Homo-oligomer: A and B are copies of this chain.
């Protein structure tokens, strides 16, 4: 408990939930870390697709990058519409639930679940790669570092709660943006000054366009779409902005996308210009930084802030998924305990679940970025598409100012992101996209089954308004108490004393292996209490629990409708934990088995041994 207090902090009252509101600059740092940090792997992913062994086709880089920038513009404009229309927050799930109905909402929920979990997995993997690029000695310990960051840092910080996390997380984003822009600026200057190497012409050569090359470009485009992950964060976080909330959110969205586009172009330019090729164990960001600024203090600065912002990006999932799960839990689609805030006001169960799911992903994929990113992008664009479709319906229903124009923007967004989903599915199917396409429908089924359970259980459990309380008209008539005993001990006597108080009929039961012990036990009890009704059950196979269960069942079957049966289990509790290993757990097993039965009340009465 002490350790918990130290790590998690004191409990917080429910009224303390009213949070702080964020300025544009803070909000940009907090919500855009996920989107901005993706420049550290997005351009690299494009290059990876084009660096086919034996055939470096960097000449087609722009064929992938330009559509990505166009897509970024379209998605940004669509999401400013979301921010305007949906100041309540909640993202694709809420938008779909309000406008499209249950199934699309659940699909969005499932896609978002996979997105957020993958945000954590991808960002942590990538952040650790930034670290291990700078310090190659750490490469063998990558998975360990991943898990340490996940469990030791992110989980704990988030269990402490969101307010602290917000404050700490503003600077790294700006340090990162400043550093990257600096590297890009220096790189451009070097190019202008002519000090940088020249690109080998062979790499720029283009073959005639054929299906293979087309597919390669599509894959490069699909890989590069990972640069766009996290862009929806601001639209989902509108309620935390200072007023005017929507306007501030829209401006911040433009700033974020602008920065993202500039950094994407700059990094892509430097990759091409320095002709960076994939090297195992070293990220392209690390290579191009080294080419530009040398391996000095500035290089380590860039690697460290890249690592920091990526870990921050992982953190955004902790701000996103637990509240979403809470929303879905309150709608009955997830276990109710995911809907409750913990003692620090954070959704602790959701945080634990997200940590477990991410750890599983990290372990299963062993930090293989390309597979994780294939999974990631598909989920992200599915939720983009659903959100945009929802907005189309929203504008048609609401028909405010300029509604036709707005509908058109979102319809175009839906169309284009839908096409991206298809491209991603086709080009990355075997790389892992199939997992998401299998997972989303399965989760949707799961959500619905959970809700059905809650509804049906509610029907059975909740009293209808006009139903009388049974205990007022039909009291219990007779309570028959069964007490398992052996030789007289203080714990048995304590149990019998309680049985006398609550029971109308008391049956003491002794389970005997043979007649000899049966007679001995009967004699010693009857010598002390001649009135005790002692039933002896013979157990030739030396089993204790089964004969007792059978006897309880038989006794319960014999009762009249308004009678009840109570089994009173005398429990001896020892002081030290290892003493408990010396005793069989018959009481525990008996209790666990009897509690399943509806017609038996199970009572435990404890006698403590103090030595």
Q: Given the interface contacts A14-B542, A462-B487, A463-B488, does A595 sit within 8 Å of B601 by beta carbon?
A: no
The winner among A337, A474, A542 for most chain B CB atoms within 10 A is A542
Whether A501 pairs with B513 at a CB distance below 8 angstroms is no
Contact with B along A540-551 (1 / 0, CB 8 A): 111100000000
- Interface: A340 (CB within 8 A): yes
Of the stretches A206-214, A265-273, A569-577, the one at the interface is A569-577
Q: How far is the CA of A469 from the CA of B469 in the complex (A)?
A: 40
Contact with B along A451-474 (1 / 0, CB 8 A): 001101101111100000111101
Q: Which residues of B contact A476 (CB under 8 A)?
A: 497-498, 500-501
The winner among A491, A591, A595, A596 for most chain B CB atoms within 10 A is A595
Whether B471 pairs with A541 at a CB distance below 8 angstroms is no
Q: How far is the CA of A611 from the CA of B574 in the complex (A)?
A: 41
Which residue from chain B places its CB closest to the CB of A539 in the assembled complex? B14
* Interface residue range, chain A: 35 or more
Q: How far is the CA of A12 from the CA of B549 in the complex (A)?
A: 20
Whether B498 pairs with A461 at a CB distance below 8 angstroms is no
Whether B541 pairs with A582 at a CB distance below 8 angstroms is no
Whether B608 pairs with A598 at a CB distance below 8 angstroms is yes
Contact with B along A587-611 (1 / 0, CB 8 A): 0000100011110111111111111
Q: Which residues of B contact A396 (CB under 8 A)?
A: none
Whether B603 pairs with A595 at a CB distance below 8 angstroms is no
Distance from A470 Cβ to chain B, minimum over Cβ atoms (Å): 6
Total identical chains: 2
- Interface: A558 (CB within 8 A): no
Whether B513 pairs with A14 at a CB distance below 8 angstroms is yes
Q: Given the interface contacts A500-B471, A540-B14, does A603 sit within 8 Å of B602 by beta carbon?
A: yes
Q: How far is the CA of A341 from the CA of B544 in the complex (A)?
A: 12
Which residue from chain B places its CB closest to the CB of A332 in the assembled complex? B582
Distance from A488 Cβ to chain B, minimum over Cβ atoms (Å): 5
Distance from A235 Cβ to chain B, minimum over Cβ atoms (Å): 29
Contact with B along A475-491 (1 / 0, CB 8 A): 11001000000011111
Distance from A517 Cβ to chain B, minimum over Cβ atoms (Å): 11
Whether B493 pairs with A336 at a CB distance below 8 angstroms is no
Q: Given the interface contacts A460-B609, A469-B529, does A595 sit within 8 Å of B581 by beta carbon?
A: no
Whether A457 pairs with B571 at a CB distance below 8 angstroms is no
* Residues of A318-371 contacting chain B, CB below 8 A: 335-337, 340-343
Contact with B along A31-67 (1 / 0, CB 8 A): 0000000000000000000000000000000000000
Distance from A331 Cβ to chain B, minimum over Cβ atoms (Å): 14
Q: Given the interface contacts A450-B582, A541-B343, A582-B454, does A463 sit within 8 Å of B475 by beta carbon?
A: no
Q: Which residues of B contact A453 (CB under 8 A)?
A: 574, 579, 582, 611
- Interface: A502 (CB within 8 A): yes
Q: How far is the CA of A581 from the CA of B472 in the complex (A)?
A: 34
Which residue from chain B places its CB closest to the CB of A600 in the assembled complex? B606
Whether A460 pairs with B598 at a CB distance below 8 angstroms is no
Distance from A609 Cβ to chain B, minimum over Cβ atoms (Å): 5
Whether B513 pairs with A497 at a CB distance below 8 angstroms is no
Distance from A220 Cβ to chain B, minimum over Cβ atoms (Å): 41
Whether A460 pairs with B601 at a CB distance below 8 angstroms is no
Whether A488 pairs with B469 at a CB distance below 8 angstroms is yes
Whether B336 pairs with A463 at a CB distance below 8 angstroms is no
Which residue from chain B places its CB closest to the CB of A596 in the assembled complex? B573
Distance from A329 Cβ to chain B, minimum over Cβ atoms (Å): 10
Distance from A256 Cβ to chain B, minimum over Cβ atoms (Å): 35
Distance from A539 Cβ to chain B, minimum over Cβ atoms (Å): 9
- Interface: A528 (CB within 8 A): yes
Whether A472 pairs with B598 at a CB distance below 8 angstroms is no
Q: Which residues of B contact A222 (CB under 8 A)?
A: none
Q: Which residues of B contact A469 (CB under 8 A)?
A: 488, 493, 496, 528-529
Q: Which residues of B contact A606 (CB under 8 A)?
A: 595-598, 600, 602
* Residues of A364-388 contacting chain B, CB below 8 A: none
- Interface: A398 (CB within 8 A): no
- Interface: A136 (CB within 8 A): no
Q: Which residues of B contact A462 (CB under 8 A)?
A: 487-490
Whether A461 pairs with B601 at a CB distance below 8 angstroms is no
Distance from A346 Cβ to chain B, minimum over Cβ atoms (Å): 11
Distance from A476 Cβ to chain B, minimum over Cβ atoms (Å): 4
Contact with B along A425-469 (1 / 0, CB 8 A): 000000000000000000000000010011011011111000001
Contact with B along A491-531 (1 / 0, CB 8 A): 10110111011100000000001100000000000001100
- Interface: A564 (CB within 8 A): yes
Whether A461 pairs with B603 at a CB distance below 8 angstroms is no
Please, could you name 28 A-B residue pairs with CB atoms under 8 Å apart, sorted by A? A13-B541, A14-B513, A335-B582, A336-B582, A337-B583, A342-B542, A343-B542, A453-B611, A457-B609, A459-B611, A461-B572, A461-B607, A462-B487, A463-B489, A469-B529, A470-B493, A470-B494, A475-B500, A475-B501, A476-B501, A502-B502, A573-B596, A595-B604, A598-B606, A598-B608, A600-B606, A602-B603, A603-B603
18 other contacts beyond A457-B611, A460-B611, with CB at 8 A cut-off? A11-B541, A14-B540, A336-B582, A336-B584, A456-B609, A457-B572, A457-B579, A459-B611, A460-B609, A469-B529, A471-B496, A476-B500, A476-B501, A479-B501, A566-B603, A573-B598, A595-B606, A601-B603
- Which 3 residue pairs are nearest across A and B when measured between Cβ atoms? A471-B497, A11-B541, A456-B611
